[in-house]
Amino acid sequence: MRKSIVEPLVEALRTVLPPVGAVSLHEPCFTGNEWNYVKECLDTGWVSSVGKFVDRFEEELASFTGANCAIAVVNGTAALHVCLLLAGVLPGDEVLIPSLTFIATANAVSYCGAVPHFVDSNERTLGLDPVKLEQYLAEIVDLQAGSCYNRKTGRRIRAVVPMHTFGHPVDLDALVDVCERFCVELVEDAAESIGSYYKGKHTGNHGRLAALSFNGNKTITTGGGGAVITNDEELGRLAKHLTTTAKVPHPWKFNHDMVGFNYRLPNLNAALGCAQLEQLPRFLAAKRQLFETYHGVLRGFEGVRLMSEPEFTRSNYWLQAIILDECIADQRDIILERTNARGIMTRPCWTLMQNQPMFTECPRMETPVAQSLERRLINIPSSAILTDVAR
């Protein structure tokens, strides 16, 4: 009979965390200029979607990520929706996304009237597996006049959307090659990966468009918020126009030249984001230190692996994750119960998209790795404030 690792694991986690009180999975850290910048918005009355902090946040975000343009929007899902529209995704198209992802990835595809097409993940990166994807597409698609078609459904496959799970970049070079071979657009769901790099280049710069998120539980937060980033300046201008109700600039007339969206980020939120960006290097250092501390106390646990950054990447370690071997996967739920009962917030991975009731009829490849990870993965407390670096 296998020995239970539950109690030793709980005790090991507790040595890293505060000895008393509840510990959240991830909480924001407001120790910089947040109060000053938000107060300036209130004092001046610039609280809506126009103001100096919106412009500043976009400029500094572009500078940090290395992108030519950053367009701040109300949340990461809105950002991804706009990215897909600008990538040419039309109603009836298919978009390849990992089954192991947050629901927003699939929802954004659905907002376009398109169909999510689910693919498997890679054990090492937790993200979309480009090797399996290439083999799969070679079996099911036809290339016609520079477009990719699913011969089983007859629908065009327009784009592929990798999601950098918990901040760990996927194998982007291999994925770019797949996209070029099969004539599909690469749109990065970089919602979780601000501060993550693949071979020295920030995530979000490997396709024409990418989406970031600044939700309250992200590495930096604007409360709610997101951004489109792109190196195509024309797409950047169009993204800003589309997210500002497609209003034609004029001192007083309300003319609009396309169906647009009221997606712009308010100045209040951008003020928070500017203050958070100032502290981002410190947050990243704190999260890396937290990973090292966890690694030190967990390395002796047989059958437990702490997720580490894949080769050729530098992860932001947004959410720390432990992965159980298959032989002890049946202890996952007990670990979740015991940790939460002890005030240590943990959670399982997301339910696979292919098992969500609204997506069960969507096309998909076989997903053995995603299904296995779903059974074995546990997120553990990951806040930057859990280390001395961010306090």
DSSP state of 112: T
One-letter amino acid for residue 212 of the chain: L
State the CATH architecture for 34-277.
3-Layer(aba) Sandwich (3.40)
Cα 95 from Cα 184, distance rounded (Å)? 9
* CATH 3.90.1150.10-classified regions of the chain: 6-29+279-390
pTM tops 0.85? yes
- Where in the chain is CATH 3.40.640.10? 34-277
**pLDDT for the residue 2:** 65
225 vs 238: CA distance, rounded Å: 19
94-98 and 115-119 strand pairing: parallel
Rounded Cα distance between 106 and 377, Å, is 21
Residues 6+ apart with CB under 8 A from 151: 140, 141, 142
CA 320/CA 380 separation, integer angstroms: 6
Residue with tokens 């890679």: 122
Structure confidence by residue, pLDDT tens digits, 166-222: 999 999 999 999 999 999 999 999 999 999 999 999 999 999 999 999 999 999 999
Q: What is the spatial distance between Cα 242 and Cα 235, in angstroms, rounded to a whole number?
A: 10
DSSP 355: G
Residue 80, C-beta contacts closer than 8 angstroms, at least 6 positions apart: 104, 105, 108, 161, 187, 189, 191, 211, 226
Q: What is the CATH number of domain 6-29+279-390?
A: 3.90.1150.10
Per-residue pLDDT of the chain (391 residues; tens, 9 = 90+): 467 899 999 999 999 999 878 999 999 999 999 999 999 999 999 999 899 999 999 999 999 999 999 999 999 999 999 999 999 999 999 999 999 999 999 999 999 999 999 999 999 999 999 999 999 999 999 999 999 999 999 999 999 999 999 999 999 999 999 999 999 999 999 999 999 999 999 999 999 999 999 999 999 999 999 999 999 999 999 999 999 999 999 999 999 999 999 999 999 999 999 999 999 999 999 999 999 999 999 998 999 999 999 999 999 999 999 999 999 999 999 999 999 999 999 999 999 999 999 999 999 999 999 999 999 999 999 999 999 865 5
Question: What integer best gives the mean pLDDT of the chain?
Answer: 96
Measured in residues, the chain has a length of 391
